[in-house]
């Protein structure tokens, strides 16, 4: 089967989905604001060795991701587009690796092109790739590490010494960059992917000889910053190893983000959602791919690449959906290869394992989508007094309707088309309208709850360089970013607890140890300065009932959501002026 894939069209889809629209949505707190604020403080302090947040040491991650985002901020400014530019670009580069690796493995350009499209249009990949976090960049470096090592082994088997050495150097460089982005998973995930494959292939000599050069190169990449951070912050490596790795992996119920063993299986279901519709055809294609013999080693490699890291991460105590992103490049190539193999087995054009699930989902999607839109627009507001969208947001329902229609038309075209190449292309494009619509159709209530940009801009007149600002551990990132401050008083510091309790913070008096739990004491110590508190609304209104020390009486209160109740069910943020 020959697929004439439209490369310019594929580039336009990537540009629109991952570049053109990434600045439409405001930065969300705390994650996205955090990963822009830390690079901003690096630039402002001219310190690119020690990550800091609100002036306090922040040792949860190394520096590579911060460096990359700092570069984008220097070029594009402090905005949502700059914050998301490097994750989006990293996703595109990872897709290129998928493309070229699939072509090398299968010898077919069409499978590589389609595999890259599969990767870019998976929901988890899209969400992570258009969010300002470190996961997309880390996944790029891990993907490069695993792919380069596979190429090195191929060169080793073919006795092409120079090729093998060059690919091993690339493996080490990529692994070093991955470590500088997120830590020791940069070594663990490639080992979990590659070692089972090499055992399966019985490449015993290669197991003990090939990894040394990449390891040395990785150490050479890591060493300059590793030495500098040790000299500047001697406690970094203890905290990073013990708290950010051992405690998270072996912490059990006490670990951060604890979830059960099957958490990632559920994540996989929605993270690769539309491709599970084609599970019958994909399964058939996988069975028909012969995994025996030297020429089929690549498929065994993909199986190990996906399963090894996936099972390893499933054993961890702490889990987030983004952790399994490095498994998705292998999954994308397997899906593409399996679908092409399925259609090769169906030269007569009878593709029931493809057509029937697509038709069933098209009909079910039309019914469920129409019912959901009617419920959102009419039933919920009228009978349950629940408004997903405000009256001035009805245009978002119109966008959702059009996205639904376009997606259903693409699915129906995939069902009715006879040529396999076009069937696959139509199915691939079915999610594009949904992804585009997602930029514009999030309810304003979600933006109000997750983003502080608009509210902090409204409050700018209240803030002068001399104003004392009291913040909560969950919103200080956005406040520091908006007002270019790194001297906030913090109540309930959360992730900043370590940084706020170190001697450096106390000696320089840049951050007050543990924040100020008694606001009145702060007012008494600073009788001539303006004092404001920017706090989550529910935490502010429920504070007096939850704790024995109430806040002092407020002179004025400004809400980000004006009609919010003044109780623990309130949403959004409040600015409280005490003086």
Phi-psi region of 494 (alpha: psi -120 to 50; beta: other; left: phi over 0): left
Domain assignment present for residue 258? The answer is no
Q: How confident is the model at residue 517, as a pLDDT?
A: 56
Q: Which of 161, 153, 168 is nearest to 213 (CA)?
A: 168
Domain assignment present for residue 339? The answer is no
Distance CA 358, CA 426 (A): 11
Query: 177 with 100, same domain?
Result: yes
Q: Which of 417, 384, 432 is nearest to 15 (CA)?
A: 432
Distance CA 130, CA 442 (A): 15
Tokens of 29: 């707190």
Query: 396 with 541, same domain?
Result: no
Neighbours of 392 (CB within 10 A): 8
Domain assignment present for residue 329? The answer is no
Neighbours of 14 (CB within 10 A): 20
Indicate the number of domains in the chain: 3
Tokens of 305: 């690449």
Domain end (from 378, 412, 442): 442
Distance CA 302, CA 282 (A): 15
Q: At 438, give phi and psi (nearest 5°).
A: -60, -25
Query: 532 with 431, same domain?
Result: no
Q: How confident is the model at residue 39, as a pLDDT?
A: 97
Burial of 114 by CB count in 10 Å (0-12 exposed, 13-18 middle, 19+ buried)?
buried
Domain assignment present for residue 206? The answer is yes
Range of the domain at 132: 7-23+79-249
**pTM (two decimals):** 0.93
Query: 225 with 89, same domain?
Result: yes
Distance CA 325, CA 139 (A): 6
Q: What is the CA radius of gyration of the chain?
A: 26
Query: 506 with 524, same domain?
Result: yes
Query: 400 with 428, same domain?
Result: yes
Query: 471 with 436, same domain?
Result: no
Place of tokens 């329902």: 397
Query: 404 with 501, same domain?
Result: no
Query: 87 with 141, same domain?
Result: yes
Domain assignment present for residue 73? The answer is no
Domain assignment present for residue 272? The answer is no
Query: 163 with 213, same domain?
Result: yes
Query: 14 with 147, same domain?
Result: yes
Domain end (from 249, 281, 298): 249
Query: 180 with 138, same domain?
Result: yes
Q: How confident is the model at residue 456, as a pLDDT?
A: 95
Q: How confident is the model at residue 546, as a pLDDT?
A: 67
Domain assignment present for residue 361? The answer is yes
Q: How confident is the model at residue 6, as a pLDDT?
A: 57
Q: How confident is the model at residue 254, as a pLDDT?
A: 56
Tell me if residue 385 falls in helix, strand or coil: coil
Domain assignment present for residue 537? The answer is yes
pLDDT tens string for the chain (579 positions)?
444 555 666 788 889 899 999 999 999 988 999 999 999 999 999 999 999 999 999 999 999 999 999 999 999 999 999 999 999 999 999 999 999 999 999 988 889 989 999 999 999 999 999 999 999 999 999 999 999 999 999 999 999 999 999 999 999 999 999 999 999 999 999 999 999 999 999 999 999 999 999 999 999 999 999 999 999 999 999 988 888 777 676 665 555 667 777 899 999 999 998 899 999 999 999 988 866 555 678 999 999 999 999 999 998 877 889 999 999 999 999 999 999 999 988 766 678 999 999 999 999 999 999 999 999 988 988 888 888 888 888 899 999 999 999 999 999 999 998 888 888 889 999 999 999 999 999 998 888 888 999 999 999 999 999 999 999 988 999 999 999 999 998 888 888 888 877 665 554 444 444 445 578 888 888 888 999 999 999 888 887 666 666 788 889 999 998 888 888 888 889 999 997
Domain end (from 442, 467, 490): 442
Query: Is the separation of the CB atoms in 175 and 282 below 8 Å?
Result: no
Q: Which of 557, 469, 438, 559 is nearest to 121 (CA)?
A: 438
């Amino acid at each position: 089967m020959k697929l004439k894939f439209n490369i310019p069209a594929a580039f336009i889809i990537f540009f629109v989905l991952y570049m053109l629209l990434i600045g439409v949505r405001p930065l969300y707190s705390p994650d996205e604001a955090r990963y822009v604020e830390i690079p901003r403080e690096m630039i402002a302090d001219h310190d690119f060795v020690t990550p800091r947040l609100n002036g306090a040491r922040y040792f949860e991650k190394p520096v590579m991701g911060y460096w990359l985002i700092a570069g984008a901020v220097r070029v594009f400014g402090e905005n949502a587009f700059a914050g998301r530019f490097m994750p989006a670009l990293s996703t595109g580069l990872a897709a290129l690796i998928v493309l070229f690796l699939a072509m090398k493995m299968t010898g077919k350009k069409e499978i590589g092109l389609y595999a890259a499209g599969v990767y870019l249009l998976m929901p988890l990949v899209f969400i992570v790739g258009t969010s300002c976090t470190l996961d997309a960049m880390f996944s790029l470096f891990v993907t490069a590490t695993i792919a380069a090592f596979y190429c090195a082994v191929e060169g080793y088997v073919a006795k092409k010494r120079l090729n093998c050495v060059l690919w091993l150097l690339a493996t080490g460089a990529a692994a070093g960059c991955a470590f500088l982005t997120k830590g020791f998973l940069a070594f663990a995930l490639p080992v979990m992917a590659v070692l089972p494959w090499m055992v399966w292939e019985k490449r015993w000599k290669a197991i003990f000889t090939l990894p040394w050069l990449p390891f040395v190169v990785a150490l050479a990449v890591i060493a300059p910053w590793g030495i500098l951070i040790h000299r500047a912050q001697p406690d970094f490596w203890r905290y990073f190893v013990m708290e950010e790795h051992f405690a998270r992996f072996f912490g059990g119920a006490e670990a951060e983000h604890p979830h059960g063993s099957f958490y990632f299986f559920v994540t996989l279901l929605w993270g690769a959602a539309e491709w599970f519709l084609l599970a019958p055809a994909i399964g058939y294609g996988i069975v028909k791919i012969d995994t025996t013999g030297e020429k089929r080693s690549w498929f065994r490699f993909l199986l190990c690449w996906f399963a090894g890291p996936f099972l390893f991460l499933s054993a961890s105590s702490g889990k987030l959906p983004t952790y399994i992103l490095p498994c998705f490049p292998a999954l994308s190539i397997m899906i593409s290869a399996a679908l092409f193999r399925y259609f090769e087995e169906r030269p007569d054009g009878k593709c029931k394992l493809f057509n029937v699930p697509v038709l069933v989902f098209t009909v079910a999607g039309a019914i469920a989508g129409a019912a959901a839109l009617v419920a959102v627009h009419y039933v919920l507001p009228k009978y349950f007094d629940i408004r997903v969208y405000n009256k001035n947001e009805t245009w978002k329902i119109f966008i959702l309707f059009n996205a639904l229609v376009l997606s259903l038309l693409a699915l129906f075209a995939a069902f009715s088309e006879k040529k396999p190449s076009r069937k696959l292309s139509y199915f691939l494009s079915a999610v594009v309208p949904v992804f585009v619509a997602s930029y514009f159709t999030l309810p304003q209530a979600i933006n109000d709850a997750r983003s502080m940009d608009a509210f902090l801009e409204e409050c700018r007149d209240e803030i002068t360089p001399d104003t004392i600002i009291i913040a909560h551990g969950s919103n200080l990132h956005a406040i520091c970013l908006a007002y270019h401050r790194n001297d906030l008083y913090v109540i309930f510091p959360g992730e900043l607890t370590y940084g706020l309790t170190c001697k450096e913070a106390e000696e320089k008096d840049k951050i007050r140890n543990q924040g100020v739990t008694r606001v009145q004491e702060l007012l008494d110590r600073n009788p001539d300065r303006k004092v404001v508190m920017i706090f989550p609304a529910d935490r502010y209104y429920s504070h007096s009932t939850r704790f024995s020390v109430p806040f002092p009486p407020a002179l004025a209160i400004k809400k980000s959501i004006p009609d919010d109740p003044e109780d623990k069910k309130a949403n959004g943020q409040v600015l409280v002026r005490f003086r």
